[in-house]
Amino acid sequence: MIVSGAGASFDVDAIVFDKDGTLIDLDTTWLGITEAWVDAAGGGNASRIALLQAALGVDRRGFLVPGGVAATGTFREIEYATRQALNEASAEVDRCIEEARTMVASTIRNLPVAPIGDVEGSMRRLAAAGLVLCVASSDAEVTIQKHLDQLGVADLISDLIGGDGLVAPKPHPASLTYLADRVGIPVGRMLMVGDSYTDLGVARNAGAAGILAVAPRNHTSPIGELCDGVIGSIQEIVVG
């Protein structure tokens, strides 16, 4: 069926959504925990904290960078980037990172979720039109499921894959080919909807029908010129 957004049209049977920055507001959910991670891993040292903010993707205004490691990476990738930024192996760094891990584990299940636009209404409309809906995120699958429950759309999602799943995370094409096999729809008949270079990469690498970028802040997207169109929220996706 024909699905359109931002002036671009696609003949698809399924839509695969990223989660953070696409369905839910990045800063509402992840900024606080990123700052807590940076503070813990930085050990209270101002210069280390500034170094980690730049490395993980917290901009000077205090927002998460959509394409930054904190916004798009798995926790393993965030820890790796943290160690690379600190550029040292010591008992102190190990202790600080262990404190950061403990902090994340104790708070991640209770993070607030703010939908970008009318996520539930939009997804129910798309599902009612006959589209198969999936989610491919870098987040842990248990957290993806919890956030989908909070958004009221878990019952609409045919399948999902997270950064801790059975296949390599985005931008590796396996995320989309895995979902395609599971739902029985060719990747070429899937539309990717995301907000970052990892979403762009997985769409292009796997051979998806196209990609729409979600950019709620004045439609300014880091992948705007490279994707097929930029929308403010998934409310702008129409069928027919």
Distance CA 238, CA 12 (A): 12
pLDDT digits (tens, 9 = 90+) for 188-220: 999 999 999 999 999 999 999 999 999 987 777
Taken in order of first residue, the domains within the chain and their CATH numbers are 2-24+113-239 (3.40.50.1000), 27-110 (no CATH)
pLDDT digits (tens, 9 = 90+) for 127-173: 999 999 999 998 889 989 999 999 999 999 999 999 888 899 899 99
Which residue from 28, 26, 87 is spatially nearest to 57, judged by alpha carbons? 26
What's the Cα-to-Cα distance from 73 to each of 42, 79, 206, 236, rounded to whole Å?
19, 10, 19, 27
Q: Is the pLDDT of residue 177 over 90?
A: yes
Q: How many CB atoms lie within 10 A of CB 128?
A: 10
22 in Cβ contact with 116 (< 8 Å)? yes
Which residue from 230, 180, 172 is spatially nearest to 205, judged by alpha carbons? 172
**Average confidence (pLDDT) over 76-87:** 87
Predicted local confidence at residue 89, as pLDDT: 64
